[in-house]
Chain A
Amino acid sequence: GSGGLAGARRAAELGARVALVEPRRFGGTCVSPWSWGADGAPTGGGRETRTGTFIHDHADYGFQTPSVKFNWRTIKEKRDAYVRRLNEIYENNLKKAHIDIIRGYGKFTADPQPTIEVDGKKYTAPHILIATGGRPAIPPDSEIPGASLGITSDGFFDLEELPRRSVIVGAGYIAVEIAGILSTLGSKSALLIRQDAVVLRTFDSLISSNCTQELENIGVDVWKHTKVKTVTKTPCGLLDVTVTSSVPGHKPTEGVIRDVDCLLWAVGREPNTEDLCLDLVGVQVDDKGHVVVDEYQNSTRRGIYAVGDVCGRALLTPVAIAAGRKLAHRLFEGKQDSRLDYHNIPTVVFSHPPIGTVGLTEDEAVAMHGKENVKIYNTSFTPLYYAVTQRKVKCVMKLVCAGKEEKVVGLHMQGVGCDEMLQGFAVAIKMGATKADLDNTVAIHPTSAEELVTLR
């Protein structure tokens, strides 16, 4: 995947002899249509629904559009073809770099030196990198009867048709993105949040509340404090999902969502480590199965490293790539200090509209610096795009500053364009930009981004 390929290629560029073990297609989670982009990027999915939402605005801008219908098959075929092309490109890149490709599932052996076995053949190297990523979790049927009747994000792209009625279970960004896509493309969708009243619980409170509201605005039926009790298949082949809602201060109630075409579990991801025989080589894992690594991606066994989703920290493609490359420079170029800084990593959620976030949430900043040392700047506005449309979607932004010099420690926003807006600000925040620096930057007009440099 992202981490493994990047690490392998960079090592080869630096003169190392490299072999890569991979049982499936090249590219990993990020690219594969058979799984979900852990960074929250449904390859192409976000764009097709963005087109969908904008179609409603065309009439306001003067275009005569008769009724518009969506065809799931068209995008599925194109998307699959594009992904296959990417798979080929990745394979070619490996061959061009003279990296040996070993096809199959690898696992560690009991040999004294760290050794990998693939289909009966053994391979050894002074440096072994684990980059096996993760997979979506699904509750066992013993816990929730009928859970296996649902699919995960892995199955999402296998769907041949747009589901008429969808139920998405989860409140993280994968659940949010999938619910947004399905609803906008025309599937009657419900989202079940087990514990809370908001999605994206670990994000800044502005984002969690705003995103939850925006999901409701686009027509997703958001069920709060609700968990799935059982799932049964009806005679006509659809699903009935029985749920219990436990609103705090009230008695729990039970309900049934009937005739569901698609039940999708988006309740977390698990690392792919159980079949690696890590115990044979003394590589420690945490209670969820993630490989325990230090800041330099070293595992608890000398000569064995891990990067990417399998480590369980900052599950993002660019993070895996950067960590993989930094490791290659450390091992093969003698750059002893080469490692990735995991602070201030920017990330985007492709909700409707998209979310951009980097740094500390307001609560984290207050906990770290004390309330008196934290200053918050907020704004909420309707982007110019909506000046002539009936439909209006606001943009919200929050800047979290700490200390006397008002250093920017966090930036959180949701609105049209926030996905492309964030990158440049992330650079500046990493450099230690202050509120005064933002104020001293001239605005670009008319954009939404300019609101960040004109905050009062």
Chain B
Amino acid sequence: GKNEYDLLVIGGGSGGLACAKEAAQFGRKVAVLDYVDPSPQGTKWGLGGTCVNVGCIPKKLMHQAALLGNALKDAQHYGWNISQPVHHTWSVMAQAVQNYVKSLNWGHRVQLQDKKVKYFHMKGSFSDPHTIRGLTKAGKETIVTAENIVIATGGRPKYPTHIAGALEYGITSDDLFWLKESPGKTLPVYCPFILHLSGLIVCISLTDTSPDVSLECAGFLTGIGLDTTVMMRSIPLRGFDQQMASLVTEHMESYGTKFLKRCFPTKVEKLESNRLQVTWKNTDLGTEEGDSFDTVMWAVGRAPDTETLNLETVGVKTNSETGKIIVDASEATSVPHIYAVGDITEGRPELTPTAIAAGKLLARRLFGQSSELMDYDNVPTTVFTPLEYGCVGLSEEAAVQRYGSDNIEVYHAYYKPLEFTVAERDATQCYMKMVCLREREQRILGLHFIGPNAGEVIQGFALGIKCGATYRQLMKTVGIHPTCAEEITKLHITKRSGLDATVTGC
């Protein structure tokens, strides 16, 4: 018989919703299935996916809270009389953030309704290439058929299950943003009169595949006054430019985040006080160490959410190592009429805007007579650590690898944001560099910027680089004064020259 829907999307996150809504614009019959399995700690949330509920949005808001904490310290220098230290109340922030996220959940529900997209609050799995079996929480079953199916179920944080106590006692980013009480506070059981107000938290990153999550979380936790430690086995921000990565972590260290480098945990145990005892191996010294914390948070990577989809039944191929769905340049899987977008797909960046763009373009190709494919080159991104890092294009290492160090020119500068001066803030890690081809026009291959508002700074330059900007063209642009962004248009010291790259003034 005829399929019920033109398009069925499994997964109501950034990619899935964008695809569904775009398809509906073409007058198609579209449905979305969304369902959130509770985390091992029991956390769950509404429609909108990772970004809205346990990713970008709550993260940026809590990062903002931490920045405000710093601003309060700066304010003194600017003449504001505020008695220090100022205290932060987690529950006030958390409630405000959680309420906002809930309003977004609601907004998404309304949007789907407005665009006449059918919404099923169900967990979907394949029965055959055009049939999905949806299950509600109560176990009620619904069969849905569709001409085209898009898998956009995203991913969930991994647990290092081989470490004793990891699953039982640790949380992940899924849980952090929904905590009602501060992670620095251990719930008192035996000692009801003891309250740890500035408690100890550990963020652990083992394999560095989502190291930005652990750094971002550690960053804002430190910023709101919690004693925070990051344990990492090898390098921070793997895949990012390593010089920039170390500047970012250096800054965090100088601001109070503790780092246990080249260490990995071996077990987590619960103490009588209800705190957690973590034991780890220090690979540098070859010793075993331990300490107790209120909260242990794992940020060891994300796993694609494919387990219960029944992909084998319909023959959708996945990458044997990562488990992610293999797609071609048009987001098609190995099965006709089945596509995938977003974090679930192999080889794509795990970012909201690329999922949204890919989802929209897919809908336009399916229903709008478009042939435009998603361009994954020069995707800009920003890591929202206390001192933000924005970048677009190639890292210096990648450029060297691709073109050879003789064929690239790296312009760089250490600068001081004007607002740091009066506040007497250390600007040692405020740094930027531009990686260009060395030949005549000097096309820009990559741009890296550490400083306040990095996200806002980089967006426009990403556009320029998309248009093929060269060093020459950048230099022709008049700077805006005084801003941090203008320093990019003033870059002129090369790494090759060996000269001091500190900005001296007009």
Contact = CB atoms under 8 A, between A and B. Distances in A.
Interface in B463-498: 463-464, 466-469, 473-474, 476-486, 488-489
Contacts of A74: 77-79
B65 A316 contact: no
Contacts of A441: 380, 459, 462-463, 466
Which of B74, B455, B456 has the largest number of chain A CB atoms within 10 A? B456
A154 B61 CA distance: 40
B354 A442 contact: yes
Given A63-B72, A319-B478, A445-B353, A428 B463 contact: yes
B88 A62 contact: yes
B375 A444 contact: no
B57 interface: yes
Interface stretch (B1-9, B251-259, B299-307, B417-425): B417-425
A142 interface: no
B260 interface: no
Interface stretch (A38-46, A166-174, A225-233, A328-336): A38-46
A217 B474 CA distance: 37
A221 interface: no
A179 interface: no
Interface residues of B, number: 85
Nearest to A417: B456
A450 B457 CA distance: 11
Contacts of A75: 77-79, 422
A340 B99 CA distance: 52
Given A426-B460, A445-B51, A445-B353, A61 B96 contact: yes
Nearest to B89: A62
A382 B293 CA distance: 38
B455 A388 contact: no
Contacts of A348: 480, 483
B354 to A, nearest CB: 6
Interface in A238-261: none
Which of B453, B474, B479, B480 has the largest number of chain A CB atoms within 10 A? B480
A444 B455 contact: yes
B406 to A, nearest CB: 27
A242 to B, nearest CB: 33
B61 to A, nearest CB: 6
Contacts of A122: none
Interface in A413-456: 417, 419-428, 430-433, 437-438, 440-450, 452-453
Contacts of B455: 444, 446-447, 449
A191 interface: no
Contacts of A86: 505
A158 interface: no
A433 B467 contact: yes
Nearest to B372: A440
A347 to B, nearest CB: 6
Interface string A140-162: 00000000000000000000000
Contacts of A322: 478
A361 interface: no
Contacts of B462: 424, 441-442, 444, 453
A417 B453 contact: yes
Interface stretch (A50-58, A273-281, A293-301, A364-372): A50-58
B489 A423 contact: yes
Given A64-B86, A443-B353, 17 more contacts: A6-B506, A43-B482, A44-B419, A51-B74, A55-B72, A65-B72, A68-B75, A68-B81, A86-B505, A90-B505, A318-B486, A388-B97, A428-B467, A441-B380, A443-B357, A444-B390, A445-B51
26 contacts: A41-B482, A47-B418, A55-B82, A62-B224, A63-B69, A63-B86, A63-B88, A75-B79, A86-B505, A318-B486, A356-B480, A384-B64, A388-B61, A417-B453, A419-B483, A420-B452, A426-B478, A437-B466, A437-B467, A441-B380, A441-B462, A442-B351, A444-B455, A447-B382, A449-B456, A452-B459
